[in-house]
Amino acid sequence: MRRLLQTVLVVICLLYPLSLGAQTPCPSLSVVVNTPEDELMLAVNGAEKPEDQIAALEKFAQAHADSKFLPCVFEYLTSTNVKLNNLDKAIEWGEKDVAANYADLNLTINLLKAYVGSSKAGDSAFSLIEKAPELIKAEDNPTRPAKATDEEWQKMQQEVAEQAKEERAYMEYAFFQLLPRVTDPKKRLEYLDGFMKSYPDTTNASQVNFQYQMAYTLAGDATKADEYGEKAIAGDANNIEALNLVAYDYSNRRTNLDKAADYAKKVVSLVPAMKKPEGVPDDQFKTQQNNWLGMAHLTLGYIDFQKASGNHRVAPAIQEFKTAINLLSSNPNLQGAALYYLGNAYEFQSPPNHKSAIEALTRGAGIQSPWQGQSRDLLAKVKHVAG
C-alpha cells in the first residue's frame, strides 16, 4: 500500500500573495543626463505601451552591450515582460542579471513572480528566496531626512516596516508555491533546510513541517515523515493533508491503528465543512474534497480489514472500500487500491464471496494503476477457486 502515497502528494496551497508596494528598480545604478542611458529612460518612461518599452530596451541592449547600465536594462525587461505575462522572456532576462551577480529587491520579486506564474522551479528560484531577507533588510533601511519631524520619521519607519513585512510574506508565498514542483525529495529537503536558515522565525511553521513530511514520504523515510506530520498537526490540528498522510502511514506500518483511525475520521468530518478558496473552480475544489475523503475512507477500510483478522468482522472494511471507490473516480491510482483491497475483503469472508470479489478485481484489473498487476493475479486465483 506504500505506493499509494506517491499519488496523493498534491496540495491546494491556502496561501495567497500580498499586493506589494512599489519597489525601486536599479537602486544602485544612476543615469547621467544627455547620455544614451538617459535617452533610453526618457523613451521608456514616455512609451504609451509596454511593448514599446520592451522594444526600446532590447534595442539599447543590442547597441550598448558594454554599458554599465545593462543590469538595469535587464531588470526593466524582466518587470515589463511580467506585466505582459511573457513569463519565459521575463525569466530569460532576469536570469541574465542573476548570472552577472546583480541583485536587488525589485528584480528578485519580479523574477519570482515569473517563476511562480510559469511551470519552472529550480536552484536559481530558491536561491533568490534564501537571499531575499538580506536584500529586504538592506533596501528597507531609510535614512532620516534632515527636515523630517519626529512624527514624520516615525510614520516613514512604520510604512517601511509594513513594506518589508509584505515583501517577506511574498517570499514565503513563492517558496510554498514552487516547492511542490520539485520531484526530487533530496532537493526538496535541501530547499527546506535553506528556507529555515533564512526564515527561522517564519509564521508558517506548520506548513514547513508538512512540506518536510511530504519530502520524507517521497524519500521513503516513514519515521521522519510521521515525525514531521505530527509536528504539522500539532501546529494546525485541522491540516487535512497531514492528517491523511499520517493516518495512512500508521495504518500501513501497523504502528498505531487507533490513532490512524482517529485522524482519518477527523478528515471525514473536516472536509465537508471546508470553505472553497477564492479563485478555485467549483469542480476542481469538489474533486480535491473527494480525493481527501476517498483516501480517508480507504485508510479506514484498511484499518478495519487488518482488525478483521482477529474479530472476523469484514463488513465494515467492505463498506469503507466501497465508499472510497465511489469518491475516487478521478484518481485511478487510489481507486485501483480500493478495488484491490475490496476484492481481498470479499475473499476473506466466510464463506468467501467469489462473485463480488471477481467483480471488484475485474474492475481493478482494467484500471491503469500500481495495483493493476496484483488485481489481475488475485483475479486469476479467485476464478480458479470459484471454478
102 within some domain: yes
Higher confidence at residue 320 or residue 163? 320
Domain presence at residue 286: no
Mean pLDDT, residues 367-386 taken together: 94
Residue that has been written with the C-alpha cell 517570499 in this structure:
171
Among residues 134, 129, 61, the alpha carbon closest in space to that of 100 is found at 61
User: What's the average model confidence in pLDDT over 152-180?
Assistant: 92
Within-domain flag for 73: yes
Contact 107, 72 (CB under 8 A): no
Among the residue ranges 30-39, 268-277, 304-313, 330-339, the one predicted with the least confidence is: 30-39
Residue 195 has pLDDT above 70, yes or no: yes
Share of the chain above pLDDT 70, in %: 93
Predicted confidence (pLDDT) at residue 164 exceeds the cutoff of 70: yes
CATH number at residue 76: 1.25.40
Quick one: pLDDT at residue 122? 87
Per-residue pLDDT, averaged over 140-156, amounts to 86
pLDDT band at 13 (very low <50, low <70, confident <90, very high): very low
Average pLDDT score over residue span 241-249: 93
Q: In the predicted model, what is the mean pLDDT of the chain?
A: 89
User: Is 68 within a domain?
Assistant: yes
Is the pLDDT higher at 39 or at 10? Answer: 39
* Contact of 8 with 244, CB cutoff 8 Å: yes
Whole-number pLDDT of residue 358: 96
Give the least confident one: 21-35, 287-301, 318-332.
21-35
Q: What is the pLDDT at residue 38?
A: 74
Average pLDDT in the 260-281 region? 94
- Which residues, at least 6 apart from 11, have a Cβ–Cβ distance to it below 8 Å? 180, 214, 241
Highest mean pLDDT among 2-16, 54-68, 119-133: 119-133
The b/e string for 256-282 (b: 16+ C-beta within 10 A; e otherwise) is: bbeebbebbbbbeebbeeeeeeeeeee
Residue 377 placed within a domain: no
Number of domains in the chain: 1
* Per-residue cell: 232: 504539522
Classify the phi-psi angles of 85: left when phi > 0, otherwise alpha if psi is within -120 to 50, otherwise beta.
Answer: left
Mean pLDDT value across residues 288-296: 96
Per residue in 199-219, pLDDT (tens digit) is 999 999 999 999 999 999 999
Angle at 127 between CA 122 and CA 130, to 5 degrees: 130
- Residue 6 pLDDT level (bands cut at 50, 70, 90): very low
Give the range of the structural domain holding residue 67, as residue numbers without chain letter.
36-142+150-186
For the stretch 332-371, pLDDT in tens is 999 999 999 999 999 999 899 999 999 999 999 999 999 9
- Residue 265 is assigned to a structural domain of this protein: no
Calpha distance 4→292 (Å, rounded): 13
Is the per-residue pLDDT at 17 higher than 80?
Answer: no
User: What does the pLDDT average to over 312-340?
Assistant: 95
* Residue 266 lies inside a defined structural domain of this protein: no
37 with 69: CB under 8 angstroms? yes
Asked, for residue 86, whether it belongs to a domain, the answer is yes
Q: Which residues contact 6 (CB under 8 A, 6 or more apart)?
A: 218, 333, 370
pLDDT of residue 2: 47
Q: Which 3 state secondary structure label does DSSP give 348?
A: helix
Mean pLDDT to the nearest integer, 141-148: 85
Per-residue confidence (pLDDT) for residue 121, from 0 to 100? 86
